[in-house]
Amino acid sequence: MDLSTFPRRRYTDGPTRLQHLPRLSAELGGPDIWLKRDDELGLTLGGNKTRKLEFLVAEALDQGADTLITAGGVQSNHCRLTLAAARAEGLQCHLVLEEDLGPDGHPVPGGTGANPPQHTGNHLLFDLLGADSVEALPHGADLPARMQELSEELTAQGRTPVVIPIGGSNATGALGYVDAADELLDQFAEQSLDVTAIVVPSGSTGMQAGLITGLHAAGSSTRVLGINVSRSRAEQEPKIRGLVDALATRLDLPPVPAAATVGLGDYVGPGYALPTEGMVEALRLLGRTEGVVLDPVYTGKAAAGLIDLVRQGEFSADDTVVLMHSGGVPGLFARTDAFT
């Protein structure tokens, strides 16, 4: 897919690795499993939001921005990488955070003081990267509304802010994964792989919608299976579908078949960023068999879903499956209680 007409910054040198996982594949006795290492993308400690930010930040710069505003949880990978992109471009960056839920389902205050609760993982990195402001709101707060208010406040101070949406998942950010679809297809050809399915964590949907659209544009029959990290299937699939449709319209593509939209809600557990037994097993299994560390919020749950699907016989021994590692490992260090 030719995306050269869209403004773009470059934060990664070359493609990320497509890593074979032979010991995990043998352990599960199912398909041949590969791992797409988007945890190794550029910007601070990597992660999938980097691909989105190449287009989002370029668009903001075209609009004359000198300030970025975005939002997410206290341990938001998206906020870390948006801040890192702002530092790379010499821009201000302001973060609006939402308190996480603890293992008991109750909010864990984020705080903004010198040493607030959860001042580890990504929250620590916000400090080290020198965010221009970090504001933590109660769980359930209207983050988009607060970002808009903050944008108006900064405009009144003479700044030129641009709001980057939560997760970077709009029809601009998702272009990063339309492009990634071509990167993957090139790697499949280089390795002579006939890939049955790509398994992705499905949250704000930008990665999944971009891959679905990019594969559709290339005429590929490879399925993209989303493992939801925060919503039921009934809630998530319309969100994926909406972004796929927006991308297809923007890229002047024929409609993407409805069957391409799959977001499995069986592995969310008690809620977003809350641990599950399957996630813990998946992190330990990938670590023990392949020396690979996953994050507990996104790829950990996606890996748990993949492992369960293999055990259920969803894939045969002749199939080849690619798991997308979306990054987020810094957040692991704020959630160590799940592993003790």
What is the arrangement of strands in the sheet containing 263-264, beginning at the earlier edge strand? 18-20, 32-37, 320-325, 197-202, 223-228, 263-264
Kindly give, in sequence order, each residue whose CB lies less than 8 Å from that of residue 93, ignoring residues fewer than 6 positions away.
67, 68, 69, 70, 82, 83, 86, 87, 131, 132
Using alpha carbons, select from 53, 31, 30, 32 the residue that is nearest to residue 42. 53
User: How many Å apart are CA 176 and CA 238, to the nearest integer?
Assistant: 21
User: How many Å apart are CA 203 and CA 33, to the nearest integer?
Assistant: 22
Token pair for 67:
């300030």
User: How many Å apart are CA 91 and CA 95, to the nearest integer?
Assistant: 13
CA torsion 267-231-142-209 (nearest 10°) is 100
Using alpha carbons, select from 245, 261, 265, 264 the residue that is nearest to residue 253. 245
Is residue 15 within 8 Å of 42, Cβ to Cβ?
no
What's the start-to-end Cα distance of the chain, in Å? 46
User: How many Å apart are CA 63 and CA 223, to the nearest integer?
Assistant: 36
Kindly give, in sequence order, each residue whose CB lies less than 8 Å from that of residue 19, ignoring residues fewer than 6 positions away.
34, 35, 36, 37, 292
Using alpha carbons, select from 76, 84, 85 the residue that is nearest to residue 55. 85
Which DSSP letter does residue 125 get?
A: H
From the list 76, 169, 204, 220, the catalytic residue is 76
Catalytic residue at 76?
yes
Residues taking part in catalysis: 76
